[in-house]
């Protein structure tokens, strides 16, 4: 950044000697130069180079501290860079120069709203409208603030004022629709969303809001179609995934629901967990209302257990998975998930017992082998495995490790044995070896096609590494 101190200019004379010119002889900056800096700043602003634009506006304002347009665009540049306080300061200076600038009040109000300064925002919006009764931005922004303050009738009045001035402003229909939604006038809200989309077919917020109206009206298929459209326009909209997932739950499609919830967790974990907290109390009611038989209830309980686990409510998750197993004693997914919750709760013996049950069920499903033609006295891998599990249950962790070592000598790719040995190392406080075993087990499960078990172990690893 150029200093505002005048630099010494050096001029060449005969003999290549240098002599300094006194700063008093320099020509002072002119208003023309200020205008040039402003022009350069505006060009950079339009290119999205807000940092560079700010530097140009700084130069212009050093020359002319009353250059209103420089304050205006520096405020906007600062806003886009997230410097809200700096933007407010610039708008305040602009207002000091041009106190009748309604747009400056409206824009400053919007930034104050971002900072949760509701009183300051409302004062700015009111002042903007007092200066210019046709300041559309101030009406639109104030309508949103009134919705936030639960003044829905006032919000509708602001939007009506906008639409009287400009009947083709999609944002006004959108905001009025939100107010109608909060007043539970879903038909009017949906009509406003329809009108907004007629004006702008690519307005994702209008599809989202209309989808929410469809949910409120129980028109779930239509809601899903609108959430689909939101995600076509913005594939990373976590709220669209969450609400579509909830809508799938209402239709009894729990697998689609969990897929959406998982995607939302990947995009925005904070928003997803807040949403789960909000809907958790409704899940049990949804399950009671289902008309499907045993399997539908099983899937619903699995969904409930998964949500409770994500919320850190391990006791509720255990209860849900246990209820699944009471209904379906051979449900390997419930055993796998309950194993993860038990290990996260420190119940390693219970976790191992659940993994053992999974192994047992898998063996039962395998084709029966031919009877052995001769009896051997050498313990089999299964013998060592069972002996290791028995030792885990009584706390003989060193002995268990020895037995699982024997299993792994027979079959080094026995993922279950690696998992159990990992738990034993963990109970002995040897986290390094525990993590190594569990990582290897997860990799083997994944390669063997058992992705569910791999994911459960990875979840346990995260807890152990933290």
Confidence (pLDDT) at 186: 93
8 A C-beta contact, residue 425 and residue 434: yes
CA distance 152 to 174: 13
Confidence (pLDDT) at 282: 61
Confidence (pLDDT) at 423: 84
Point out the residues of the chain with pLDDT beneath 70. Answer: 1-29, 280-297, 300, 310-311, 362-379, 393-394, 464-466
Q: Which domains does the chain have, with CATH numbers?
A: 237-329 (no CATH), 344-363+380-466 (1.25.40.10)
Confidence (pLDDT) at 12: 31
The helix-helix angle for 102-114 and 136-148 (nearest 10°) equals 30
The pLDDT tens digits for 233-254 are: 999 999 999 999 999 888 877 7
Confidence (pLDDT) at 319: 86
> What residues have CB less than 8 Å from 275, skipping those under 6 apart?
239, 242, 246, 264
Confidence (pLDDT) at 9: 35
Q: Record the pTM.
A: 0.58
CA distance 207 to 239: 12
Confidence (pLDDT) at 2: 39
CA distance 378 to 315: 43
> What residues have CB less than 8 Å from 382, skipping those under 6 apart?
none
Query: Could you tell me the two tokens for 375?
Result: 């009896």
């Amino acid at each position: 950044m150029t200093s505002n101190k005048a630099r010494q200019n050096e001029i060449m004379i005969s003999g290549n000697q240098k002599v300094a010119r006194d700063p008093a002889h320099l020509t002072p900056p002119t208003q023309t130069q200020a205008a040039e800096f402003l022009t350069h700043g505006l060009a950079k602003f339009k290119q999205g180079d807000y940092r560079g634009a700010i530097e140009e506006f700084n130069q212009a304002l050093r020359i002319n501290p009353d250059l209103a347009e420089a304050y205006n665009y520096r405020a906007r540049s600062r806003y886009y860079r997230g410097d809200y306080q700096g933007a407010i300061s610039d708008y305040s200076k602009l207002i000091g120069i041009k106190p009748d600038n309604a747009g400056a009040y409206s824009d400053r109000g919007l930034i104050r709203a971002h900072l949760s300064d509701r009183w300051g925002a409302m004062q700015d919006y009111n002042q903007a409208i007092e200066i210019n009764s046709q300041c559309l931005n101030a009406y639109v922004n104030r309508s949103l603030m009134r919705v936030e303050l639960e003044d829905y009738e006032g919000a509708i009045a602001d939007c009506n004022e906008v639409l009287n001035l400009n009947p083709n402003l999609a944002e006004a229909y959108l905001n009025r629709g939100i107010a109608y939604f909060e007043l539970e006038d879903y038909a009017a809200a949906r009509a406003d969303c329809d009108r907004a989309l007629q004006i702008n077919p690519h307005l994702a917020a209008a599809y989202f809001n209309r989808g929410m109206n469809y949910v409120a009206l129980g028109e779930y298929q239509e809601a899903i179609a609108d959430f689909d459209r939101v995600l076509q326009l913005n594939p990373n909209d976590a709220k669209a995934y969450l609400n579509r997932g909830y809508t799938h739950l209402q239709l009894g499609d729990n697998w689609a629901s969990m897929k959406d919830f998982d995607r939302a967790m990947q995009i925005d974990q904070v928003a997803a967990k807040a949403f789960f907290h909000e809907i958790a109390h409704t899940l049990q009611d949804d399950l009671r209302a289902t008309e499907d038989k045993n399997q539908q209830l099983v899937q619903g309980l699995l969904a409930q257990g998964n949500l409770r686990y994500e919320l850190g409510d391990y006791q509720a998750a255990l209860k849900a998975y246990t209820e699944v197993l009471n209904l379906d004693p051979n449900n390997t997914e419930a055993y796998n998930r309950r194993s993860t919750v038990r290990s996260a709760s420190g119940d390693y013996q219970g976790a191992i017992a659940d993994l053992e049950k999974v192994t047992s069920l898998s063996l039962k499903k395998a084709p029966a082998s031919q009877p052995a033609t001769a009896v051997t006295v050498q313990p089999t891998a299964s013998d060592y495995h069972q002996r290791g599990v028995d030792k885990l249950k009584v706390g003989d962790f060193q002995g268990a490790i020895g037995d699982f070592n024997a299993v792994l000598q027979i079959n080094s790719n026995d993922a279950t044995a690696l998992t159990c040995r990992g738990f034993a190392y963990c109970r002995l406080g040897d986290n390094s070896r525990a993590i190594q075993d569990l990582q290897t087990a997860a990799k083997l499960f994944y390669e063997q096609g058992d992705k569910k078990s791999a994911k459960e172990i990875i979840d346990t690893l995260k807890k152990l590494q933290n």
